Amino acid sequence: MNKRILAICLAPGVAFLIWLLAPAPLPDHWAEPEAALIASLSISALPPLSPDPSNAAADDERAAMLGRRLFFDPRLSVNGAVSCASCHRPELSFTDGLPIAVGAGPGKRHTPGLIGVAYSPWFYWDGRRESQWAQALTPLETHFEQGAGRSAIVRLLATDPEYRTMYQDIFADLPDPTRFPRSASPQGGELAQENWRRLDPGLQFDIANAFANAGKALAAYQRKLLPGRTRFDDYADAVARNGAVRQGQLLNRDEIAGLKLFIGEGNCVNCHNGPLFTNHDFHNTGILAGAGQLPSMGRYDGVRLARKDPFNCLGEFSDAPPEQCLELRFARDGNELAGAHKTPGLRNVTLTPPYMHTGQFASLAQVLNHYKVAPTAMLGHNEAKPLDLSRGELRQLEIFLRSLEAKPAAAREWLQSPFSHGRNPC
């Protein structure tokens, strides 16, 4: 065969090979508003944490070290067996894998993750706490969580030599543990409440103040739990740099299609926006009540409880002058908050099933099906509208959510118990 004929015969094959090997054409011709929206979801758009004026120790490294110890220490519980980390397990993105949490007793709600939670203006599914240190005090006194009570916590700080040194290095002196009983708290059982009433008001204040400081250290620790860079962030930054992305290089076709639905037809970005994929607000999404529970009033009750909390920004244990307590003073109120819950962030959401405030859905597929149907709310109005999406499109949304996985951007020590080799501190 002469060379010319050979070349003609091989040409289609060579062309096919070149087509196969060549980089795919630039895939994503995101129109300008879409490109800007994608860039706004990137972790590169996440600002540094703003200071917490109500917590003078919020960014004190020594407080973070003390907080880490407290976080992993089961002695901070009524039965010596439950620490924050029992429910917020680092290897599960600080969740517990259960629909409803179990502490010293069975709980009522699902455990949310803690990575990036320091950016929240409000804490809990119903936002009933408005600072991270006030939140941290709540499980310590809730009987079905740790339930130790404030005097037991302060006694431990005062009697454990390591805690005592660490605490006194940051805060003032601790109250003398011989002057108050082991169990005394305005939140405890009958005996604890009676013991609390018998203490003189000055000592009550000193105990509550040291207890608040334990919360401030726990908050300082959790400010270290920052989210890491995902494949999606590399993609979003490339889009922001004018689309120099090759299809399949950073995100695959399905992931990109899922992203398109997420910011488009799916309306997800209405609530899950910004670099943490949450608007930090409260919405009613028509989630059914948990099994055997009444529908949750959500934020309607939450805002009232936050205002009444003695450890809030306007309270006597806060380090902020009242004019800096803006969130609390200007918190939105109204009937539309009935049944509204906090929009969770979606980074690492694939690592934290089950989902929703009482773990109603076992899988992301169930969550997405819920959004497709958008059922009538049991209480208030479902703000999400039904979606005309095929099963394939729901699957693409799910595949996109998988691109949001990354290790936290926190040094290893913050992700591990300081009590090495599983050794108990006791």
Interface residues toward ligand HEC, by CB under 6 A: 71, 82, 84, 86-88, 101, 103, 107, 109-112, 114, 117, 120, 123-125, 132, 135-136, 139-140, 145-146, 218, 266-268, 270-272, 283, 285, 287, 341-344, 346, 349, 352, 355-357, 364, 367-368, 371, 383-384, 397
Residues contacting 111, CB < 8 A, separation 6+: 87, 88, 95, 96, 98, 101
Which is nearest to 120 in space by CA: 379, 339, 302? 302
Other Cβ atoms within 10 Å of 162 Cβ, number: 12
Whether the ω angle into residue 354 lies within 30 degrees of 0, i.e. cis, is yes
The CA angle 314-299-42, to the nearest 5 degrees, is 90
Whether the ω angle into residue 201 lies within 30 degrees of 0, i.e. cis, is no
| Closest distance to ligand HEC from the beta carbon of 299 (Å) | 9
Token pair listed for 390: 């095929």
| Closest distance to ligand HEC from the beta carbon of 281 (Å) | 8
| Closest distance to ligand HEC from the beta carbon of 268 (Å) | 3
Choose between 125 and 180: whose C-beta lies nearer to ligand HEC.
125
Burial of 209 (0-12, 13-18, 19+ CB in 10 A): middle
The Cα 305–Cα 391 span in angstroms is: 41
Choose between 110 and 174: whose C-beta lies nearer to ligand HEC.
110
Choose between 170 and 276: whose C-beta lies nearer to ligand HEC.
276
* b/e map 113-130, b = 16+ CB within 10 Å: bbbbbbbbebbbbbbbbb
Token pair listed for 64: 């973070």
| Closest distance to ligand HEC from the beta carbon of 117 (Å) | 5
| Closest distance to ligand HEC from the beta carbon of 110 (Å) | 6
| Closest distance to ligand HEC from the beta carbon of 125 (Å) | 4
Choose between 199 and 408: whose C-beta lies nearer to ligand HEC.
408
| Closest distance to ligand HEC from the beta carbon of 241 (Å) | 26
Cβ–Cβ under 8 Å, residues 135 and 129: yes
Choose between 199 and 217: whose C-beta lies nearer to ligand HEC.
217
Choose between 129 and 196: whose C-beta lies nearer to ligand HEC.
129
The Cα 261–Cα 400 span in angstroms is: 9
- Residue found under tokens 């997420």: 262
| Closest distance to ligand HEC from the beta carbon of 387 (Å) | 6
The Cα 335–Cα 380 span in angstroms is: 8
Choose between 199 and 221: whose C-beta lies nearer to ligand HEC.
221
| Closest distance to ligand HEC from the beta carbon of 114 (Å) | 6
The Cα 402–Cα 398 span in angstroms is: 7
| Closest distance to ligand HEC from the beta carbon of 132 (Å) | 6
The Cα 141–Cα 143 span in angstroms is: 6
The CA angle 190-194-198, to the nearest 5 degrees, is 170
Choose between 106 and 201: whose C-beta lies nearer to ligand HEC.
106
> What is the number of alpha carbons within 13 Å of residue 390 lying toward its C-beta?
4
Choose between 128 and 199: whose C-beta lies nearer to ligand HEC.
128
Choose between 85 and 203: whose C-beta lies nearer to ligand HEC.
85
